[in-house]
Amino acid sequence: MVRTTPTRSASPTPPPPRTRRSVLPYTLLLPALLALCAGLGYPLVRQVVLSLQGYGLAQQFGRPAEWVGLDNYAEILGDRYLWLLVLRSVVFCLVCAATTMVIGTLLALAMRLMSKPVRLLVQTGLLLAWAMPVLAALTVWQWLFDSQYGVVNWLLARGGLDYEGHSWLIEPLSFFFVAAVVVVWMSVPFVAFTVYAGLIQLPAEIIEAAEVDGAGPVQRLRHVILPLTRPILLIVGLLQVIWDLRVFTQIYVLQNAGGVTRETNLLGTYIYRSGIGEGNFGVASAVAVFMLALTVVLTWPYVAKMVKDVDA
């Protein structure tokens, strides 16, 4: 009889010890993270502190700031005009963001179907519009909508409409129409370029397979192209909501060109005029913190959707 010795079961291999090399990426990122925290964290903390103080013109000349706690927040939350500004700003933001996304996505889809010379011409025009300084672009748009010499009034008057000498900036509705046109015009190139960059990365085999299966252009767009570009659309939409909610330059310049300030204020211009214009930096900081919270509320569905797509 041959005696067999029982074999020991193989013990699981212990994980390799952590080495210094695994810490190296975090060490290399540390200077950038510290600079980012210093550049973004300090202004945010300073703004929160100001929102809890009575900080005005006297404090700029050395008088100690008085600690008022939540009084600034109670003041702004009880101000009916601020809630009107919130509604006005949110509506303006959503309208501009939605219009920009639709026009930019349609342009990106159209560029896929253009010949190379036409596509280069369109992309050059979009790039020039995107690269134009904001104040220079606003000067051009002011001349286009000028009540006496504007091309827009001239074309509408030649079309049989009574727009001779019409002022677009006096009435709030037409003021925000002009502002929305400028904001959308300056934002469409970014959406078009970004979505087009995502479209050209789509696998051609999937689109061709859908076409072979009998899917028409609308069905391919709805069931193939848009779902595949959904992450890009979510990110671009998130950025547009953030940018259009805090729009300032376009509104401020158009107000100085003839708009009625109180009837055309948005949150950005209200914060500027309360702080820089009236010297009430405590209330302005409170409104800025409130605007930050509003931005988080508006963008949270986008963020939650992106996190859900990543986890899936």
Structural domain span for residue 209: 92-266
SS3 162: coil
Grade residue 90 by pLDDT with cuts at 50, 70 and 90: very high
Whether 202 is covered by a domain: the verdict is yes
40 or 117: which leads in pLDDT: 117
Q: What is the mean pLDDT of the chain?
A: 84
**Helices and strands (DSSP H and E) totals, the chain:** 17, 2
Position 41 pLDDT exceeds 90 = no
How many angstroms separate the first and last alpha carbons of the chain? 60
pLDDT more than 70, % of the chain? 92
Can you give the pLDDT at residue 225? 82
> Which is higher by pLDDT, 120 or 224?
120
Lowest mean pLDDT among 56-70, 90-104, 122-136, 142-156: 56-70
CATH number for 249: 1.10.3720.10
In this structure, is residue 258 part of a structural domain?
Answer: yes
pLDDT confidence tier of residue 118, bands split at 50, 70 and 90: very high
Per residue in 233-281, pLDDT tens? 988 998 999 999 989 999 999 998 888 888 999 999 999 998 888 888 8
Determine phi and psi for 68, rounding to 5 degrees.
Answer: -110, -5
User: Mind giving me the DSSP string for 3-51?
Assistant: --PPPPPPPPPPPPPP-GGGGHHHHHHHHHHHHHIIIIIHHHHHHHHHH
pLDDT, greater one: 273 or 9: 273
pLDDT at 184: 94
Residue 8's pLDDT is 52
Residue 70 resides in a domain = no
Q: What is the pLDDT of residue 58?
A: 77
Residue 81 forms part of a structural domain: no
Residue 212, pLDDT > 80, answer no
Q: Is the pLDDT of residue 1 over 50?
A: no
Q: Is residue 140 part of a domain?
A: yes
Per the structure, how many domains does the chain have? 1
The whole-number pLDDT of residue 12 equals 56
111 within domain boundaries: yes
Number of Cβ atoms within 10 Å of the Cβ of 35 = 10
Q: Give pLDDT, residue 4.
A: 52
Mean pLDDT calculated for residue range 79-89 = 92
Q: Which two three-digit tokens encode residue 272?
A: 């500027």
For the segment 153-195, what is each residue's pLDDT rounded down to a tens digit?
888 888 878 777 778 888 889 899 999 999 999 999 999 999 9
Question: In the predicted model, what is the mean pLDDT of residues 44-55?
Answer: 87
Whether 32 is in a domain gets the answer: no
Name the helix (H) or strand (E) containing 54: strand 53-54
Eight-class DSSP state of 61 = T
How would you class 219 by CB atoms within 10 Å of its CB: exposed for 0-12, middle for 13-18, buried for 19 or more? Answer: middle
- Residue 179 belongs to a domain: yes
